[in-house]
Copies of this chain bind each other. A is one copy, B any other.
């Protein structure tokens, strides 16, 4: 045997490759349909980042065989325009670009709940969020034919973790992160908190870090609890979570924030879902076994996957009418 050591190089994995696999699955499902599903994007702000995201989602839709229409309005029109799209049978999914009414306004939270449940491609409806936190995977228990929609970015992170085999498929479905310790920087309602809950629901021990400290998301002792529980880790500092973690996931907005790379465990897996670089590239590669610098393309692939789920939930999923299949 050769005596040369295992190369200590960090493997950088790009979102594109992970997205490609997902888009392949999407294409297979799309082929079964007799029509092009249509996503409508509603833009009611002047934010160039939102316009860019809209352009990007349009391009990905078109490339992958979906219809996409961007509609622009004033913020005062958005409520009525969502209601119109809700009632339009030719539209299968709706994406609203936020923020419309920036913080500290809470009006966006109201707007999110206007989108019809069966067209909410981003999974922002309270019903979907509630199901996610409560680890309920279908809308129509006990029949379990209508899948609950998961929010795109948290689900994209899950898909990345599956791709990286952090999810251990030897374990039963729903418990494939059991034994893993994961730190998530960001505890926003849109991404960080749902992500921590999803990972804990799948069995991980999750340290959730934000400006107001650390919370521990677990499923409690063993594998018995059906959904996560949360403990306030009073006095624990965000950085203290790093050496404990098999996986470090970060999504902090702003250029200033950097993960303290020195504290990361050798061989940890590091994933950045911020639009900024939360990890210092050269430094993290000295520590991590795998580094995923961004996940945006996976998020868009997940969006299309969600759209197909909605089409299914709308009873339009099969090439033949459902009655004929029965």
Chain A residues proximal to chain B, CB less than 8 Å: 74-76, 79, 103-107, 109-110, 113-114, 126, 129-130, 133, 187-190, 193, 212, 229-232
Contact = CB atoms under 8 A, between A and B. Distances in A.
Given A106-B188, A109-B109, 20 more contacts: A76-B229, A76-B230, A76-B231, A79-B133, A104-B104, A105-B187, A105-B189, A105-B212, A106-B106, A106-B189, A107-B189, A107-B193, A109-B189, A110-B126, A110-B129, A110-B189, A113-B113, A113-B126, A114-B130, A126-B126
A215 B212 CA distance: 34
21 contacts: A74-B232, A76-B230, A76-B231, A76-B232, A79-B133, A103-B104, A105-B187, A105-B189, A105-B212, A106-B106, A106-B109, A106-B188, A106-B189, A106-B190, A109-B109, A109-B189, A113-B113, A113-B126, A113-B130, A114-B130, A126-B126
A contact face: mostly helix, strand, loop, or mixed: mixed
Q: Assembly of this chain: how many copies?
A: 2
The 6 closest A-B pairs by CB, nearest first: A106-B189, A113-B126, A109-B109, A76-B230, A107-B189, A106-B109
Residue among A113, A129, A187 facing the most chain B CB atoms (10 A cut-off): A113
